[in-house]
Amino acid sequence: MSTISLTARALLLDMDGTLVNSDAVVERVWRGWAERMGIAPERVFAIMHGRQGYSTMAELLPARPMAENRADNAVLLAQEVADTEGVVPIPGAPAFLTAIERIPHALVTSADTALADARMTAAGLRMPDVRITAESVSASKPDPEGFLKGAAELGVDPADCVVFEDSAAGIAAARAAGMRVVGVGARAASLAPTAFAPTLERVAVTATADGGVRLAVSP
């Protein structure tokens, strides 16, 4: 596969799995929940990435009241905020965030504000000024609401945005928003993103004269 070139007016960035590797924490916390619920942890791990916790719970336990899912989700979020052991940047993330500092961009994450702050801090990464977190939306990825709100906050048409994502739910949300998507990491490899990069080290960033960006993405 050859390098793919994309141009955009703005970039929308997922956090977990895209900028930050938090898999160790996520699996610790969700394994405990799965065992309490009598669910095989592997079933949880297969669908949890990229979405808010209550959405994962609802798929696994369709008869359970949503109020119980949201209450459990709040407990798990607090556990994840308190546990940052093993949280590290995705290779290339620090340099990538430096390269796009003057280019319109936003963080669009299924984490809440406290968790986003905790993980970006633990990974030593700069927090984007524009952030769409769990509190900002009424629906979890794969619903496109978060990405559409990110584009609106930046004042950019969805078609002029490129999303960086790692998960099936996130890539589906980007597509539903009418946006192109750079898939980052192993989870994204089989999901047919517009372009694929094993890590952010494989993404070259060039600012354009009109205030946008050109991306060269190498598989």
Q: What three-state secondary structure class fits 53?
A: helix
Partners of 182 in the beta sheet? 164, 195
The pLDDT confidence band at residue 1, using thresholds 50, 70 and 90, is: low
Catalytic positions: 14, 16
The dihedral over CA atoms of 11, 12, 16, 21, expressed in degrees to the nearest 10, equals: 0
* Contact in structure between 29 and 180 (CB atoms under 8 Å): no
User: How many alpha carbons lie under 13 Å from residue 56 in its C-beta half-sphere?
Assistant: 25
Which pLDDT band holds residue 193 (cuts at 50, 70, 90)? Answer: very high
**Annotation: CATH topology of 4-22+87-217:** Rossmann fold (3.40.50)
Tokens of 80: 């994840």
Q: Which pLDDT does position 117 carry in this prediction?
A: 98
pLDDT in tens, 109-139: 999 999 999 999 999 999 999 999 999 999 9
Provide the whole-model pTM.
Answer: 0.95
Mean pLDDT, the chain, integer = 97
**In sequence order, what DSSP letters do the residues of 136-173 get, joined into one string?**
G-SS-TTSTHHHHHHHHHHT--GGGEEEEE-SHHHHHH
End-to-end Cα, the chain, rounded Å: 7
Residue 146 has pLDDT above 80, yes or no: yes
